Structure 1
Amino acid sequence: MSNAIIFRARTPASIAAVAAVLICAPVQGFAQTAPTAPRPVQASARPKPAPQAPLAQAGVQPATQGAAIGKASGSDDIVARVGDANVSADEIRGYVAALGPREQGALAQDPALLSQAVRMMLANRLVLQEVVAKKWDQQPNVAAQLDRIRENALVELYLQTASQPPANYPSDDELQKVYDANRTALLMPRQFQLSQIFVASPKDADKATEDNAKKAVDDIARKLKTPGADFAALANENDAKNGGDLGWVAEPQIRPEIRTQVMGLAKNAVSEPIRLDDGWHILKLVDTKASYTRTLPEVREQLVQQMRVERAKMLRQAYLGELIKRNPPVLNEIALSKVLSEQPRTTR
């Protein structure tokens, strides 16, 4: 059954467009008061680290005397193992806790995703064992890259902490103001619950195929007009699933050729056959939902998340701006311009 052909393609959009196609998404571009920058931590001389293996500097502990990489500390509850590589229940809990709300929701809906993640963790552990055994991480160029990765990770983690909005942000008043300012973007369009019978017949099909399809469509249309006709049964006879049920579809997502027919139907009425590029479509209007503006309780979680994200961005910018103001960088532009020109060219 062809479903996609009767719907418009969905594209990424702002909250106004997203709300219009029934996708739950946070409002973007809130007007928020610029926050006061947190006081930067006074920079101090970086202590010289004690000699250690490059992998350990990057937060990876090498295996010693056959010990498994990632062995659980303080817990013997191993949930997966391959070779000498283990994954403990504590590690899995930490992995899940570090995920965002959307990813956690996906795991709750599909537990198989967690199994895939654990398999990937085990594969990574096996690779790390190879790395340690071959001392690959101790090569100078690799060690330098690990240092840069560790430095970037530390900076990012610290900035996330320094730009974390207060736990009580946003307040109810702030949330209400943002909701009121974006009410028009939260208008949900009219929705239609549809079922469909589809008979395939591409526009470029030969005459015999088109004639057979038209004959089948006419036969279905005739049966549908008989008293007590079962639309779902006829849909299933034509290779549909669940009686041809398409679920709820937002008005802007329905192609104009279909929309004009659907909007003229009464509840439980059936359309005349409609010719599209892929074949013939017969639609049944099961029910209709009028357009409405989503209430604050409906969008509260999304608004809070997005407002906190926006505030975190502003806090980060303010923090970095204040830090650079206190410690202005000095660049030798002439020397910098020569860096790339002096790089050796690689031959291909």
Structure 2
Amino acid sequence: MQKPLTFLSSLALAAAVALPVAAQDEPGLDTVVATVNDTEITLGHMIVARASLPQQYQQLPEDVLFKGLLDQLVQQTALADSFTGELPPRVTLSLENETRSLTAGEAIEAVMAEPVSDEELQAAYDAQYSDAEPEPEFNASHILVETKEEADAIKAELDGGADFAELAKEKSTGPSGPGGGSLGWFGPGMMVPAFEEAVAGMEAGSVSEPVETQFGWHVIKLNETRTAEAPALEDVREELETQIRQTNVQEAIESLTDSAEVDRSAAEGIDPSVLNNIEWLN
């Protein structure tokens, strides 16, 4: 940053005022923010460094991040310039692996970016939903306590006309207690087996006998049941597109690997325990 001029002659000042202000170029990846021994540090270097920070550091104020990252890159550059001799194998091999990994990642991104056709989308939807059997869903509430005696007492109160939601708020030890014991809608496999089995055998509006699970003793009220319908294609479009792209990536990896000239013969006969020879990297 240039130091401000302490004075200007009246003629120079008048000329400066009369001239149009020159538009500065917008900063970009190649914008140089510092130089260290003629090595340039660009805005691109800073952006990449920021993106690799742990999430907690990315939440820092922008001015703090900017100064901290620039200081770090300046220090790293000065240190790198001070290094003499050959880089140890751990560094050169790490650079090769990182380059390989990042380049492969770009190839994967290219496959992921390919558009998904309507035909592919419909085929994926049909495969996943057209033959699916409708499944029952349940809306239930429960009161969770530690012992069967407590559960029996609660069931007796309910049989005597006590309000289920109020009793749940008062006595349930589960996280749903403050909400009157409501568990909302759930389908098969979403609850532990003993709980699901009890609910599946109930009629809407009924209250169960105490049911034991690993969490304690439950008194369950089945509020409603319904049959889950297959979602509309548009409702699962994004999910299906992701699945299709992931499948395309896997197929591309397999196809490229199969078509590449791969010779693994040099690895035959090597004892896998050699991977423990970390000292080789020094």
CA drift at 1:150: 4.3
CA drift at 1:281: 0.8
Contact persistence 2:33–2:42 (CA under 8 A) = no
Letter of the 1:262 partner, please give it. Answer: V
Contact persistence 2:141–2:180 (CA under 8 A) = yes
Which of 158, 163, 178 is the aligned partner of 1:230? 163
Query: Structure 2 stretches of 5 or more lacking a match?
Result: 1-31
CA drift at 1:345: 6.2
Question: Does the alignment pair 1:200 with 2:146?
Answer: yes
Letter of the 2:123 partner, please give it. Answer: K
Aligned equivalents of 1:251 and 1:231: distance in 2?
Answer: 24
Q: Scaled by the length of structure 2, what TM-score is found?
A: 0.60
CA drift at 1:162: 5.6
Pair 1:275–1:233, CA change in 2 (3 A): same
Contact persistence 1:195–1:285 (CA under 8 A) = yes
Contact persistence 2:41–2:73 (CA under 8 A) = no
Which of 56, 80, 103 is the aligned partner of 1:155? 103
Residue 108 (structure 1) aligns with: none
CA drift at 1:341: 11
Which of 282, 285, 291 is the aligned partner of 2:219? 282
Residue 298 (structure 1) aligns with: 235
Pair 1:149–1:193, CA change in 2 (3 A): same
Aligned equivalents of 1:286 and 1:342: distance in 2?
Answer: 62
Contact persistence 1:163–1:319 (CA under 8 A) = no
Aligned equivalents of 1:331 and 1:282: distance in 2?
Answer: 62
Greater shift after overlay, 179-188 or 272-281? Answer: 179-188
Which of 116, 131, 135 is the aligned partner of 1:189? 135
The alignment yields a C-alpha RMSD, in angstroms, of: 4.8
Contact persistence 2:35–2:41 (CA under 8 A) = no
Pair 1:330–1:182, CA change in 2 (3 A): closer
Aligned equivalents of 2:262 and 2:224: distance in 1?
Answer: 64
Q: Scaled by the length of structure 1, what TM-score is found?
A: 0.51
CA drift at 1:235: 0.8
CA drift at 1:186: 4.8
Residue 20 (structure 2) aligns with: none
Contact persistence 1:199–1:281 (CA under 8 A) = yes
Pair 1:243–1:319, CA change in 2 (3 A): same
Aligned equivalents of 2:56 and 2:274: distance in 1?
Answer: 46
Residue 116 (structure 1) aligns with: 56
Residue 35 (structure 1) aligns with: none
Residue 176 (structure 1) aligns with: 122
Aligned equivalents of 1:185 and 1:136: distance in 2?
Answer: 65
Contact persistence 1:186–1:294 (CA under 8 A) = no
CA drift at 1:188: 5.5
Q: Secondary structure at the match of 1:252?
A: coil
Q: Secondary structure at the match of 1:197?
A: strand
Aligned equivalents of 1:290 and 1:341: distance in 2?
Answer: 56
Q: Secondary structure at the match of 1:190?
A: strand
Residue 314 (structure 1) aligns with: 251
Contact persistence 1:159–1:316 (CA under 8 A) = no
Aligned equivalents of 1:341 and 1:275: distance in 2?
Answer: 50
Q: Pick the structure with greater CA Rg.
A: 2
CA drift at 1:290: 1.1
Contact persistence 2:33–2:41 (CA under 8 A) = no
Q: Secondary structure at the match of 1:314?
A: helix
CA drift at 1:136: 9.4
Contact persistence 1:273–1:282 (CA under 8 A) = yes
Aligned equivalents of 1:271 and 1:342: distance in 2?
Answer: 62
Aligned equivalents of 1:294 and 1:345: distance in 2?
Answer: 54
Residue 27 (structure 2) aligns with: none
Matched residue count: 233
Pair 1:130–1:230, CA change in 2 (3 A): farther
Q: Secondary structure at the match of 1:269?
A: coil
